[in-house]
Structure 1
């Protein structure tokens, strides 16, 4: 399947913005074959250090630590600057034979019964059977499709985020400077794992103009902390924004799909945005592959919006709640509990031996018959787990794993989708053929 990724800029995004990789996305990256690179490029989140009048006043933990278990080997966020995550995914795409055309700005598109024609600011048009718009909160494609976004302003105060080189601060803590009588507002400076940079975040009064220059940022840091202006030696990247929460009214129009910030914008609090965006693509990707290469019915693509839009809506509420201090980062922000129990792709037919996991849930890790399940799941295939049940071979395109009943799963037959969720669960093979026909076979 030929696929073309186009990027308006002449290079990949340079900033650290989405730096938190949640545990569920770590599992996705494991499946995509980039986990080792992600782990090598980042590190754990540091403990927050609260400063008052130039003195250390106490520690702040953003979330409570959680021990890894066999079924959930990744339990805490992993910090990787967004620019580095993009580099790793870009390298993996090229390794798999994919390509990215930079400097290609989309200005419009037209679609018909057979495909979509995409127009660019310069250069020839491109023709494709389907288009995925992941072009951000100001999505040109979404606007061209006439899809509105519904939402609210989370915080009217403008916020600065910048990647800086700083002297005079240790890299063992996330340095937090609360507003004080002499300061003008909140400032946090976090060492970016795997780099020599710090990410600074500062809030300003409503209506303020944020100065993104070196001198402007130096002034903010000096006024709000004990650091001197010259301790900020370089601005690597800087941006300002006003936190919003908005959801596209639709995630699909004909042959065009919205993913990531083109479909949902949010407060960065809770570290949900990049992760939800990755999982949008993960959900849609296997379905496009099944339709384009596997002969699955085109109706399978309808389940993308059905499954992802409710999750995005919940994510917006969660991010807003964390931003306003109502909800603490924890189990919900790790995203391991997200699933698709209500999806039309989900069938739960077991009558006995039901464990914690039901059809529609994330398929946990385990070692079954000497096989690690995450190793068995890795790749764009379906996997049939026969746990405490007999199961015949079901074809070369489905990986079969046999073993005893498992604590998380209970006993039964579990058909695990290419994106790591249980699609079908039953006590017997009855009904499997019908499910396979509905999703286009395996």
Structure 2
């Protein structure tokens, strides 16, 4: 696929770009990753990692480090006008199950997410992109250092103000609500416990005045509040004079920006993460969707065949559109002062149900498939003395041969193959008869069939014609 001198250029070293770099690195695909900022990101910004993203991190071998650095979301302690208090959870804590081992959102400040993803990744800081030119094969890129390089592929993961997207001329369609703004800051303070996420409503008891959320593994709280003429110190003192702000760090002025592209690929250039879609932070979807963009794209870039690369847009664009819809709905609930505006009980938010059913890589050949079908996330399950996730972990595609006693498909040596008869695994996959399931490298079901020839025909679509 790649000649000796070819490489992939990743533009932007946020969570999306760093996840993609890790995906390429473990496949020994040559790449460079550049970041126009001269320092790593320092703010807490997107602090929630959804259950599906934790499964991605598990596959990458990073989840233990993230879980050590993070925590479950704390209970909300709402300080009502008049001195009363009310407690509630945004989403009740869920018990882990054999199929869903990581059922709850994990709180990790974004700067730490970036630092963990960046371990061992050679990020070139202070290097941006100033020009792109598509070639017959590859892209000529001018860097801000005046270096000119030719990359086989370029991935713009450079945020909502993406230079790559602008150079491509791809419209960023949607709307910006200039009057709907929020101040976000990382602060240190005294006089407030770290066991709760503290919320102060306005005097009407329905509008939002101030939030202070303790950030795990740090001394910081993430402050959120509507814009005001007050300083951070004055704002905090206005709700409780006993709380003293001792330090104000990263600060951002958020405005409601709801936009996405209509194209994820232009020639040999791809868009991912905030460069392709920006959301309200309500529901904790944006960072997670970007990480999963990279997880979808990485193995396809490693194969490097056009037909497979085209499936990146056809699979991820509808997902982004759906995420934009649900995060916008939650944002409107905040703006309108809905009583349940802080509720996050919708299971869709956990991103475990996101599916590529009906997409170009979903080959469901069974006459009567069960509830788990081609295009769906591969569930976990005990499997003898191991688990399905243990079998899937790594950059490979996997063939799960459920109750299969016959010959395996031709060329199955190109896959990790496991014969499975464990009743718990059969139940998790809702399989009652001999079945072959090819799980893609990003751990979605690609092909499900009762005929081994179906797997043989499908394999070149995800492994490449010459593999």
TM-score by length of 1: 0.91
Show the counterpart of 2:191: 168
1:407 partner SS: helix
1:55 partner SS: coil
Task: Map 1:77-226; keep pairs closer than 5 Å.
Answer: 77-91=105-119, 94=120, 98-153=121-176, 156-180=179-203, 186-204=209-227, 216-223=231-238, 225-226=239-240
Query: Separation in 1 of the partners of 2:241 and 2:458?
Result: 63
User: CA 1:240–1:391 in 2, change beyond 3 Å: closer, same or farther?
Assistant: farther
Cα contact 1:389–1:427 (8 A) shared by 2? no
Of 271-280 and 112-121, more deviation after overlay is shown by 112-121
Show the counterpart of 1:6: 34
Q: Does 1:431 align with 2:454?
A: yes
Shift of 1:178: 0.3
1:302 partner SS: helix
Shift of 1:278: 0.1
Cα contact 1:168–1:227 (8 A) shared by 2? no
Q: Does 1:420 align with 2:443?
A: yes
Shift of 1:201: 0.5
Query: Separation in 2 of the partners of 1:227 and 1:397?
Result: 66
Cα contact 1:24–1:335 (8 A) shared by 2? yes
Shift of 1:154: 5.5
1:415 partner SS: strand
Q: Does 1:73 align with 2:107?
A: no
Q: Which of 236, 239, 244 is matched with 1:231 structurally?
A: 244
- For structure 1, the residue ranges without an aligned partner over 5 or more in a row are 205-209, 292-296
User: CA 1:192–1:54 in 2, change beyond 3 Å: closer, same or farther?
Assistant: farther
Cα deviation digits, residues 124-174 of structure 1 (max 9, x gap): 122210000000001111011000011123673210000000111100000
Q: Does 1:333 align with 2:349?
A: yes
2:217 partner SS: coil
1:153 partner SS: strand
Aligned residue pairs total 421
1:306 partner SS: helix
Query: Separation in 1 of the partners of 2:128 and 2:314?
Result: 30
Query: Separation in 1 of the partners of 2:292 and 2:406?
Result: 31
Shift of 1:396: 3.5
Shift of 1:71: 0.7
Cα contact 2:214–2:222 (8 A) shared by 1? yes
Query: Separation in 2 of the partners of 1:368 and 1:329?
Result: 32
Shift of 1:182: 12
Q: Does 1:265 align with 2:281?
A: no
Cα contact 2:80–2:86 (8 A) shared by 1? no
1:310 partner SS: helix
Shift of 1:390: 2.6
Show the counterpart of 2:319: 311
Q: Which of 254, 260, 269 is matched with 1:241 structurally?
A: 254
Show the counterpart of 1:357: 372
Show the counterpart of 1:378: 393
Question: Cα RMSD (Å) of the superposition?
Answer: 2.0
Query: Separation in 1 of the partners of 2:178 and 2:85?
Result: 27
Shift of 1:184: 9.4
Shift of 1:324: 2.1
Shift of 1:64: 2.3
Cα contact 1:351–1:427 (8 A) shared by 2? no
TM-score by length of 2: 0.86
